Structure 1
Amino acid sequence: MLVLNNTSAQPVIFLLTGIPGLRADQVWFSIPFCLLYVIALSGNSMILLVVFCEPSLHAPMYYFLSMLSATDLSLSLCTLSTTLGVLWLDAREINLNVCIAQMFFLHGFTFMESGVLLAMAFDRFVAICDPLRYTTILTNTRIAQIGVTVLIRNVAVMLPVVLFVKKLSFCSSLVLSHSYCYHVDLIQLSCSDNRINSILGLFALFSTTGFDCPCILLSYILIIRSVLSIASSEERQKAFNTCISHISAVAIFYIPLISLSLVHRYGRSAPPFIHTIMANVFLLIPPVLNPIIYSVKTKQIRKAIIKVLMQRQSHV
């Protein structure tokens, strides 16, 4: 058996997988995937543009939204080249170092999205439960500190994961299950002891999304309790309406994540292409839907987009 590692003279080359069992039809599958990438990239770029250009959107809620859009944009770019390369050109080969780099950014931006959603939940909590102190609590400095903290946390949990993956040795079977490099998928191909890698992966997961999700849930329990104490039904509805976009963003991030985990654990009898399509869709759903949800549900964003588009059109 051929054993390879990252320090051997012979480079470690993995083979990415497109749509298992449907290789002849991969070009057709690339069309909706390409469309989803275009929507994700253009939608999130538009959100970033309007928040940057429109002074009325220079407020904590929209700063956090721009962080979410930047994260979604980066997450889409992480898998764009390999996914479309496999589906369009059948370009399946990827070396270990590039694979590890993609894995680092892919998981890092996924964890960062979870952290930004928690920061947005804190923003809604302060806005509804302590509105008089909103501007003094969420200053520009504190928002920047929150963003830097989320970034540092993700780098801190992902660096050990990357360093221990580089120490693994790999056998002759180097076919990955997806069109991108996924940590669990990668370590399962190693022919050396990967228990530490599994523990580090679980630690990274539980210290990020495993921490953020209960905190988001707790913030909404407190928000609901605060809103129900408001006497006016009109004020209650107004308060809940400010949370709808964020609740939707949380749902489209965590529901596919949990569903994908359940399919991997309990849906082993399902055809392989179901796993692959779900894994790709999971990464594309939040970047595609978040800009649409915030554009439809947030009047200020919608007005700013129309204003920017009209200004661009007038300059043409």
Structure 2
Amino acid sequence: MKFLDQAKVYIRSGDGGAGSVSFRREKFIEFGGPDGGDGGRGGDVWAEAVDGLNTLIDYRYQQHFKAKTGMHGMGRNMTGGKGADITLKVPAGTQIFAEDNETLICDLTVVGQRFLLAKGGNGGFGNQHFKTSTNQAPRRANPGLPGEELSIWLRLKLIADAGLVGLPNAGKSTFLAAVTAAKPKIADYPFTTLYPGLGVARIDGREFVLADIPGLIEGAHEGVGIGDRFLGHVERTRVLLHLISAQEENPGRAYKTVRAELEAYGNGLTDKVEIVALSQIDILDADQRKKKAASLKRAAGRAPLLVSAVTGEGVEAVLRALMAVVAEARDAVPAPVETRWRQ
């Protein structure tokens, strides 16, 4: 599946239906009077977070969405039917911004959450509303009010429990493939991962969602390499797994490079719980492991975990460390209170 995490769309709610000019015509009733019904209300435009989506790719191919116009009023005081609504279905974690791409309209974080983006126009009055003592047969009815129209930005921030960060070729995708059913592209060259990926990891009968994002390099916050735009996908995580490849000549410097990019990006990423691991240790002998682990410990201020996704060494220890943080964060979250979404 192709990945798209940002899209601009145009939406318009339906116009209200026109009121009717009609008169009551029945046998033996000479002056029946006006009986024109009101027009129906135009359709609304909604956004809804749905299950089973993790990309906005559908909005690359369709960017215009218009709800239906309300039905016109009819005789016998019959009100026109409401125009059909239209719903933009988006993944949970989608934020919706105004056209300036800065003003947040809503943040859909829960499957089933709905938000009214544009309300349909009201229907026009039929001529029954304009009868007066001096005008018993009005030939006037109102048109429906126009709907609302606006351009909005959809911006997806994946919802995951843990996020993988590190330099390119740090073994992030290999680790994701080893501990989940995800099948990311894996190759021996930088920036193999071009888009974020998700997988469900299981340990000791419990599970959590793990997100992998493209590697960071020095200057990523200035657009070097792929840049830092995908860091938004680990903003919602509870813990970061920072992988440093055993192939690095100076693991401590590699660690500091990524930390500097996280700090430059901001949004609280450096405040998250971080688990540091030296990856791809299967290529090292015992002395090399000790030296590189010591270099990383000096930079990170704590001893790193040692892991090899290829041989499985240390994988369970890393998963348990992640699960411990995730479980603690879940326990600290209060039970959800039923929220009345905007109607």
TM-score normalised per structure 1: 0.27
Q: In terms of Rg, which structure is larger?
A: 2
- The structure carrying a bigger strand percent of its residues is 2
Higher relative CO (Cα under 8 Å, sequence separation at least 6) belongs to: 1
